[in-house]
């Protein structure tokens, strides 16, 4: 084999062995510091869960929790969920509740760490992104996720997206209106929320992004 051929073969092997560069995952930029939810609608915590229908196709479930009342807000169950669909859901919740949250506490998913969400939140809602591998910073929604997983998703079979929506919606209604909490004087979440006489100031956090 000639020197030129050997060099060509070596170059080819090196080219094949070279690892591909991984696409860097986008991280959201927080515009609000960590906030304790002292009043209703001060902090909404957002997360996603996944399940499948009996044909093996995925479904995606949005969890939105009021971090003060601990209520599960709204229903969104789809095969996939875009940032625009999530924003539309948040807007419907704002109309239903008559207020924007002061802070949206969330993870760095593509539906949240994106320009569309930043544009929606600008001048109205502070965004606080949970650092990677620190789920305890979003404790209420993590607790809710665990409960709906164990008490609903793991014991249900979904043959369609529509049926999954009905089952999950019914379970969330039961969670809000019938499950009593010792920490709330054995009231339901809905009873506690109705009894709240707090108000909160919807003050947008500094426009200077917090690193």
Q: Is 14 part of a structural domain of the chain?
A: no
Q: Is 16 part of a structural domain of the chain?
A: no
Q: Is 168 part of a structural domain of the chain?
A: yes
Q: Is 65 part of a structural domain of the chain?
A: yes
Structure-block tokens of residue 6: 């050997």
pLDDT at res. 208: 40
Q: Is 31 part of a structural domain of the chain?
A: no
pLDDT at res. 139: 84
pLDDT at res. 207: 40
pLDDT at res. 133: 76
Secondary structure percentages of the chain, helix, strand, coil, to 5? 40, 15, 45
Q: Is 1 part of a structural domain of the chain?
A: no
- How many C-alpha atoms does 197 have within 13 Å on its Cβ side? 0
Q: Is 200 part of a structural domain of the chain?
A: no
pLDDT at res. 211: 40
Please list the rounded mean pLDDT of every run of 10 residues in the chain (211 residues): 50 45 65 92 95 97 95 94 96 95 93 94 94 81 94 97 97 96 91 78 44 40
pLDDT at res. 205: 42
Query: At 163, which CATH number?
Result: 3.30.420.10
If one counts the domains in the chain, the total is 1
Residue 136, domain extent: 43-195
pLDDT at res. 2: 53
């Amino acid at each position: 084999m000639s020197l030129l051929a050997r060099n060509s073969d070596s170059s080819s092997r090196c080219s094949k062995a070279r690892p591909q560069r991984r696409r860097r995952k986008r991280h959201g930029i927080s515009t609000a510091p960590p906030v304790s939810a002292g009043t209703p609608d001060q902090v909404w915590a957002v997360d996603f869960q996944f399940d499948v229908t009996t044909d093996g196709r995925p479904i995606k479930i949005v969890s939105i929790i009021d971090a003060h009342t601990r209520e599960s807000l709204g229903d969104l169950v789809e095969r996939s969920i875009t940032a625009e669909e999530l924003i539309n859901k948040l807007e419907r919740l704002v109309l239903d509740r008559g207020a924007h949250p002061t802070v949206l506490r969330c993870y760095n998913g593509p539906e949240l760490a994106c320009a569309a969400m930043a544009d929606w939140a600008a001048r109205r809602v502070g965004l606080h992104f949970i650092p990677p591998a620190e789920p305890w910073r979003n404790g209420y929604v993590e607790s809710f996720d665990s409960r709906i997983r164990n008490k609903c998703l793991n014991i249900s079979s979904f043959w369609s997206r529509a049926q999954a929506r009905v089952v999950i919606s019914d379970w969330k209604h039961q969670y809000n209106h019938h499950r009593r909490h010792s920490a709330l004087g054995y009231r339901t979440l809905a009873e506690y929320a109705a009894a709240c006489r707090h108000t909160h100031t919807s003050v947008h956090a500094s426009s200077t992004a917090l690193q």
